Amino acid sequence: MFSFALGTGTHNSSGHWLEVFYPRPLLNPSAALVTQVCQILSCSKSTQAIPLQQDQLLRLAEGLRSIDTEQAQLCQQLAASKKPRVLMLLADDEKPATVPEVYLKLQLLSHRLARPHQLNLEGLFGLLPNVAWTSAGPIAVNELPQAQLAARLRGEILQVTSVDKFPKMTDYVVPGGVRIADTARVRLGAYLGEGTTIMHEGFVNFNGGTEGPAMVEGRISAGVFINAHSDLGGGCSILGTLSGGGKTVISVGKNCLIGANAGLGIPLGDRCTIEAGLYVTAGTKVTVLDNSGKEVQVCKARDLSGKDDLLFRRNSISGRVECLTNKTEIELNAALHSHN
């Protein structure tokens, strides 16, 4: 079995899932746990989302007590709730087919049980409903006006924080050892390694993130991964592959610096720097200089993809983009990224 999770979530008025919260998802659960669960519920070991009733949860709690005490305790807690409850079994890592599957995979990423690009997320946008995320919880968009009216009649105001297919990560997962200045700017499915600091203008999309430690004051698009000890300056941006036709998956190596308001459209190796305000895309014409400042060649930036120890800068006189050996060692403040 690839993954196992017990969860609770929200239905719309038609009984369709809007979202699912899995407190303790498991990747590669023990054969004993899966066998016991399938025997108790009389179900196969195939990929499926099984709605759970109170009596089923109580039987699971008893049956799992000697195998996994945490999962048994969770069954007890879920049994006391009136909210919709579900068991999600993933037999293998195929493209998701249901909302509970998508939410499980996104939470596996944010729990650091899987890294970006390790899970099949093909087609998830078509599965996820657009949801109004409110002070009263998730609400179907077409049911929002009635919910707003009901709140007003109670003398309350229903606050709508966003209308989106993705919720913020911290409503589901808060990984240890991180600091997030504005939680609305980190989507569920982001992977934040220990020691990561996300400042107020930093943004991290699903299926992307940081190995940690890292300083993020710029944008990490979906699919982008930042390796350890790298710094993304204020307002910088890294190209993703969700739209616009781009196919190259961008990564940033270790000990790199992307300057404020700079941009990146190629993978970077280790110990690379991009000057503040400079946007380097795959087609950018780059003049390569040797250590004495002599021109060696002119190439496209994609030809320098993944190479270590590079400094990209714009010549302030000629305006040309230049690349030379990076002589600056990027070091993060250790105290700043210790978030115990």
Q: What is the secondary structure of 78-145 as a DSSP string?
A: HHT--S-EEEEEESS-PPP-SHHHHHHHHHHHHTTSS-TTSS--TTHHHHSPPEEEETTEEEEGGGHH
Whether 64 and 71 have beta carbons less than 8 Å apart is answered as yes
Q: What is the pLDDT of residues 283-337, one digit of tens each?
A: 999 999 998 889 999 999 999 999 999 999 999 999 999 999 987 776 776 766 7
Per-residue pLDDT at 83: 96
Predicted TM-score (pTM) of this structure = 0.94
Per-residue pLDDT at 80: 97
Per-residue pLDDT at 336: 63
Per-residue pLDDT at 140: 98
Higher pLDDT, 338 or 28: 28
**In degrees to the nearest 10, what's the CA dihedral of 77, 23, 198, 187?**
-110
Per-residue pLDDT at 88: 98
- Over the chain, what is the mean pLDDT? 95
Asked whether the bond before 213 is cis by omega within 30 degrees of 0, the reply is yes
Whether 217 is catalytic: yes
Q: What is the pLDDT of residues 66-109, one digit of tens each?
A: 999 999 999 999 999 999 999 999 999 999 999 999 999 999 99
| 19, 217, 275, 322: the active-site residue | 217
Is residue 245 pLDDT above 60, yes or no? no
Band of residue 246 on the pLDDT scale cut at 50, 70, 90? low
- Domains present along the chain, CATH in parentheses: 3-124 (3.30.70.2010), 132-164 (3.30.60), 169-337 (2.160.10.10)
As a whole number, mean pLDDT of residues 253-278 equals: 96
Higher pLDDT, 5 or 1: 5
Per-residue pLDDT at 249: 84
Band of residue 248 on the pLDDT scale cut at 50, 70, 90? confident
As a whole number, mean pLDDT of residues 29-48 equals: 97
